[in-house]
């Protein structure tokens, strides 16, 4: 093989190597850019999911704060009214019960679109007792016999007192769902509350 031929071969190999190097560099650059874009997209999606999750938690927290506050206010308004009836002066407290009942009902209607099934299930037991207490309270209001009225008011007060532990269990579950607590407390029991046949006794 002549020197000229060897020179041509070397030149071809050199040019080919240079071209191949440029192509390989371009491919590697494109691959690195694609990986960078994919990584940025994953980060963007993760940040968007985090923001969406936070918006959901904020919405849930607001809902739960309102539901907890209005359940308690409704219960407290009825209890105040029951004690006022027992003492014989209750005219001004009746309007507060009506207002608290309406607000609690509106809050529950909103919560039914937002709250988890677990919270709704547990809170519905509280609401069932509040409803029974309200009905019994209204019956006591219209009772003309003093001793019967006092007995009915005692039932209402006992029922309203029994709601406090249930409200605590609902609140504990709410706190976990809005990440205010990491886990449910040891005393949490989703079966807390009166059975339906016990509720009927009231």
Instruction: Give the span between the Cα atoms of 154 and 71, in whole angstroms.
Output: 20
More confident residue, 100 or 34: 100
pLDDT digits (tens, 9 = 90+) for 127-148: 999 999 999 999 998 888 888 9
Cβ count near 53 (within 10 Å):
11
Which has more confidence, 177 or 19? Answer: 177
Q: Which 3 state secondary structure label does DSSP give 115?
A: coil
CB-based contact 64:177 (threshold 8 Å): yes
Q: Give the whole-angstrom CA distance, residue 43 versus residue 51.
A: 12
Q: What is the pLDDT of residue 115?
A: 94
Share of the chain above pLDDT 70, in %: 84
Question: Regarding predicted confidence, which is higher, 6 or 103?
Answer: 103
Domain that holds residue 196: 59-201
State the pLDDT confidence band at 17, using cuts at 50, 70 and 90. low
CA 102 – CA 112 distance, rounded (Å): 16
pTM of the model: 0.73
What is the average per-residue pLDDT within 38-51?
85
In a domain, residue 156? The reply is yes
Question: Which of 22 and 188 is assigned the larger pLDDT?
Answer: 188
CA distance readout (Å), 34 to 21, 41, 143, 178, 199: 20, 10, 80, 38, 65
**122 closest CA partner among 195, 189, 190:** 190
Residue 87 lies in a domain: yes
Contact 156, 82 (CB under 8 A): yes
Residue 36 lies in a domain: no
Query: Domain for residue 151, yes or no?
Result: yes
Residue in the block written with tokens 């691959």: 31
pLDDT at 15: 65
* Lowest-pLDDT choice from 20-24, 53-57, 112-116, 146-150: 20-24
Mean pLDDT of the chain: 84
Specify the higher pLDDT residue, 93 or 65.
Answer: 65
Is residue 102 one of the residues assigned to a domain? yes
Pick from 46-50, 67-71, 103-107, 160-164: least confident: 46-50
Q: Which of 34-43, 45-54, 125-134, 181-190 has the highest mean pLDDT?
A: 125-134
Which has more confidence, 190 or 65?
65
Query: 182 lies in a domain?
Result: yes
pLDDT, tens only, 66-97: 999 999 999 999 999 999 998 877 566 788 99
pLDDT at residue 195 above 50?
Answer: no
Measure the CA–CA gap between 23 and 25, rounded to whole angstroms: 5
Number of domains in the chain: 1
116 dihedral zone (left: phi>0; alpha: psi -120 to 50; beta): beta
Residue 185 lies in a domain: yes
47, part of any domain: no
Residue 132 tokens, joined? 């029974």
- What does the alpha-carbon distance between residue 160 and residue 68 come to, in Å, rounded to a whole number? 15
């Amino acid at each position: 093989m002549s020197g000229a031929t060897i020179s041509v071969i070397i030149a071809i190999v050199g040019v080919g190597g240079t071209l191949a190097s440029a192509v390989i560099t371009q491919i590697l650059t494109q691959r690195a850019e694609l990986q960078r874009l994919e990584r940025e997209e994953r980060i963007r999606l993760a940040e968007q999911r985090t923001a969406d999750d936070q918006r959901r938690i904020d919405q849930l927290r607001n809902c739960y704060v309102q539901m907890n506050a209005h359940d308690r206010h409704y219960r407290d308004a009825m209890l105040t009214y029951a004690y006022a009836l027992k003492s014989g002066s209750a005219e001004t407290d009746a309007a507060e019960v009506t207002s608290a009942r309406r607000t609690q009902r509106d809050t529950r209607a909103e919560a039914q679109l937002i709250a988890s099934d677990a919270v709704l299930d547990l809170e519905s037991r509280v609401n069932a007792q509040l409803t029974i207490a309200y009905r019994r309270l209204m019956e006591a209001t219209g009772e003309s016999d003093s001793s019967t009225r006092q007995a009915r008011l005692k039932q209402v007060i006992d029922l309203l007192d029994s709601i406090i532990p249930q409200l605590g269990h609902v609140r504990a579950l709410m706190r976990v769902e809005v990440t205010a607590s990491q886990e449910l407390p040891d005393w949490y029991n989703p079966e807390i509350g009166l059975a339906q046949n016990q509720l009927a006794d009231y």
